[in-house]
Amino acid sequence: MIALIQRVTQASVTIDNKVAGAIGPGLLILLGVERQDDEQNAAKLCERVLAYRIFSDEQGKMNLNVRQSGGSVLIVSQFTLAADTDRGLRPGFSRGAAPADARRLYDDFTDRCRQTGIRTETGRFGADMQVALVNDGPVTFWLQV
């Protein structure tokens, strides 16, 4: 399971010209699910993402996690993160989970985030989405379990 996380001052996801989810300061989480992933991966990645200390403390050091910073999260499914780009000029998607499995694990990850009490917004799994963000820093990390 892969999370591309970006510290943002704001982010939103639009589907069919309607905003499906929007946050102010916090994390935009682009989430990719691979074939071998299961609920344990979702739990471990969720815990890691939410605990990752990439927000500035009073001294300007990256020392706070999203909860400590008072931020929110916006989770967007991103199957292309699981792409095989090792060869050629066209990505392959054989590493990605089957759609039903990916949806189940995306929902599991999202539910786990919500259960922490952190404000959690989402896109819609499998939809054609337009994501807008203001990356703060810029700060972007690739986390994988």
The pair of structure tokens assigned to 32 is 């990719």
78 is catalytic: yes
Closest C-alpha to 48, from 16, 1, 103, 104: 1
Supply 121's token pair. Answer: 């917004």
CA angle (81, 85, 87) in 5-degree steps: 170
- 79 in catalytic set: yes
Which residue among the candidates 6, 55, 79, 109 is catalytic per the annotation?
Answer: 79
CA nearest to 32, candidates 80, 93, 101: 80
DSSP state of 125: T
Instruction: Give ∠ CA 19-121-71 in degrees, rounded to 5.
Output: 115
Rg (CA), the chain: 15
Catalytic residue chosen out of the listed positions 10, 40, 55, 80: 80
Q: Which of 6, 55, 78, 110 is catalytic?
A: 78
Active site residues: 78-80
